[in-house]
Amino acid sequence: MNLKDILLPCAKTFGALALVTGLVYPLAVTGAAQALFPSQANGSLIVEEGKTRGSELIGQPFSDPKHFWGRPSATGGVAYNGQGSSGSNQGPLNPALKEAVAARIDALRKLDPADKGPVPVDLVTASASGLDPHISPEAARYQASRVARETGLTLAEVETLIEDHVEGRMLGFLGEPVVNVLKLNLALDARVKATRLDAA
């Protein structure tokens, strides 16, 4: 058996596998995803009036008192950096974590000093990915009085918005109920705008 008899079948096999795994399979999967799940395949983007407001899957750094705040982000450099997903890797006894949590609690207390209740843990600790777009319903309700005061909406209106945006457990039993912060804030902005138009 000469070298040609060995190399030719290898080259044919390599070419066929490269074609199938490098072209046919990716195109088939991409096509199926675009046909069956177009929103998810394109990043679960939220588009309003032709403008992309963000993704349902990645948190945003809301800091205006008129908005609901999400979980802190521990991604390096820029908060909620989708290309740098990471946690802080700080253990519960780490002094840096204790200081960061204390600072976040202090910031929330200063915005709403009348609220003496315990601050929900997800408002002061980052998720493992640093990108979590959700908070617990309790964390949203904790912020309701501040948001109502800052936006001019009634507390009942704000609480109704929160309840309308609570997402239940997956399949009815997996995980915990959550609230998507971006969706809630977009609905809040729309309600504030509508209220101002009605008053004008």
pLDDT of residue 27: 85
> What pLDDT does 162 receive?
98
Q: Please check the confidence at residue 1 and state whether its pLDDT lies above 70.
A: no
Mean pLDDT of 76-97: 83
Q: What is the pLDDT of residues 161-192, one digit of tens each?
A: 999 999 999 888 888 999 999 999 999 999 99
Q: Which of 93, 145, 110, 103 is nearest to 124 (CA)?
A: 103
Mean pLDDT over the full length of the chain: 90
Rounded Cα gap, residues 98 and 74, in angstroms: 14
Q: Which of 129, 39, 34 is nearest to 83 (CA)?
A: 129
Distances (CA, A) of 48 to 21, 80, 122, 186: 37, 21, 28, 9
Give bridge partners of residue 174 from the DSSP assignment: 170
Q: Annotate 52-89 with b (16+ C-beta within 10 A) or e (fewer).
A: ebbbbbbbbeeeeebbbbbbbbbbeeebbeeeebeebe
Task: Return all residues near 146 (Cβ < 8 A) that are at least 6 apart.
Answer: 65, 111, 112, 115
pLDDT band at 121 (very low <50, low <70, confident <90, very high): very high
Report pLDDT digits (tens) over 35-77.
877 777 787 888 888 889 989 999 999 999 999 999 999 887 7
At residue 4 the predicted structure's pLDDT band, cuts being 50, 70 and 90, is confident
- Cβ atoms of residues 55 and 62 within 8 Å: no
Q: How far is the first Cα of the chain from the last one, in angstroms, to the nearest whole number?
A: 91
Q: What is the pLDDT of residue 137?
A: 98
Q: Which two tokens stand for residue 199?
A: 């008053």
Comparing C-alpha atoms, which of 153, 123, 159 is closest to residue 141?
159
